[in-house]
């Protein structure tokens, strides 16, 4: 397959160089999202379509591993994927420009309003057991490089300041630049035949319809009745009850409360953190990526339906 060398994305948690040497199969699905943007949700949708079921033969972390995460060795992940007989669907937080590209692979890009991502990530970090994460990382890949990732300062007690740090990309790991840059990269590739864009807001708006759209992208038949059954199984409350089965890294004690991973996050919780000054600055930063493309702005905030944005597929 024709592949290109991509840009490297690396932090304490993941390293896109782990894709080096990976052998794709025709039909592979790569789920590429910024963190807290519907990754696990999309894995669930893909699993139901691939297995034509709401219950699966293994935990999601094994069925759809996060290839570039540093809590399992690359050899372990490669061996796991090589042994799979089903159609493979692989998780990554690496943008398209950091991934090997193959024409017979489908790249599913999922977006979410960056401001909602910022709020969700705060709750995500508050639920993490970092000591456990570092210990697992050390056992998997070693921690000799920890000096490359100095610990961030403690989060500010002022929520407005925390949002400002996100907007200015002063936050750790997940920043405005990492989220919007990821989505712009996907947006620019939306006309490519093996790239498809989805959005958290569209899942919330009409999950059965988005399931049918995803099925169409993947070449899988799905009627309306089956889509409704799958959508019910993929609801937040249903997935929360199956957190140990569906959540990432659940077997490695990285969460203080496994069910809190599936937080009932609302939309627009960021509103009371945006002063007039910060809202203006957010708009300026967004324009750095939008460059006048209002459709891109509408899509990252509202998705294709709510924003009235037409996508190729």
- Residues belonging to the active site: 93
To which residue do tokens 């990754």 refer?
39
Q: How far apart are CA 277 and CA 264, in angstroms?
A: 29
Q: Is 98 left (phi over 0), alpha (psi -120 to 50) or beta?
A: alpha
Q: How far apart are CA 253 and CA 76, in angstroms?
A: 19
What does the block give as tokens for 257? Answer: 């409360």
Q: How far apart are CA 233 and CA 45, in angstroms?
A: 9
DSSP code of 151?
Answer: P
Q: How far apart are CA 94 and CA 103, in angstroms?
A: 18
Sequence-distant (6+) residues with CB within 8 A of 2 are 101, 102, 103
Closest CA to 251 of 35, 29, 58, 61: 61
Closest CA to 173 of 35, 19, 33: 35
């Amino acid at each position: 397959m024709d592949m290109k060398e991509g840009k490297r994305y690396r932090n304490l948690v993941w390293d896109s160089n782990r894709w080096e040497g990976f052998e794709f199969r025709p039909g592979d699905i790569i789920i590429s999202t910024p963190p807290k943007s519907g990754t696990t949700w999309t894995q669930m949708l893909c699993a139901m379509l691939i297995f034509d079921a709401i219950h699966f033969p293994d935990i999601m972390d094994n069925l759809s591993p996060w290839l570039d995460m540093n809590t399992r060795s690359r050899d372990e992940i490669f061996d796991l994927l090589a042994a799979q007989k089903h159609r493979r669907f692989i998780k990554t937080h690496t943008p398209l420009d950091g991934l090997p590209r193959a024409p017979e692979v489908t790249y599913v890009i999922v977006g979410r309003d960056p401001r909602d991502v910022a709020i969700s990530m705060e709750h995500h970090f508050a639920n993490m057991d970092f000591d456990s994460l570092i210990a697992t990382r050390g056992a998997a890949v070693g921690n000799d490089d920890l000096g490359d990732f100095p610990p961030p300062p403690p989060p500010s007690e002022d929520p407005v300041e925390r949002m400002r740090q996100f907007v200015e990309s002063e936050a750790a790991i997940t920043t405005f630049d990492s989220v919007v840059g990821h989505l712009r990269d996907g947006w620019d590739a939306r006309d490519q035949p093996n790239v498809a864009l989805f959005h958290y807001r569209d899942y919330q708006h009409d999950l059965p319809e988005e399931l049918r759209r995803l099925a169409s992208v993947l070449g899988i038949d799905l009627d309306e009745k089956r889509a409704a059954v799958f959508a019910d199984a993929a609801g937040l409350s249903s997935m929360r009850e199956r957190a140990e089965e569906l959540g990432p890294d659940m077997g490695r004690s990285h969460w203080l409360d496994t069910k809190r991973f599936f937080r009932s996050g609302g939309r627009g919780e960021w509103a009371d953190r945006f002063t007039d000054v910060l809202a203006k600055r957010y708009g300026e930063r967004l324009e750095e990526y939008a460059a006048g493309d209002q459709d891109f702005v509408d899509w990252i905030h509202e998705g294709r339906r709510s924003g009235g944005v037409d996508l190729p597929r």
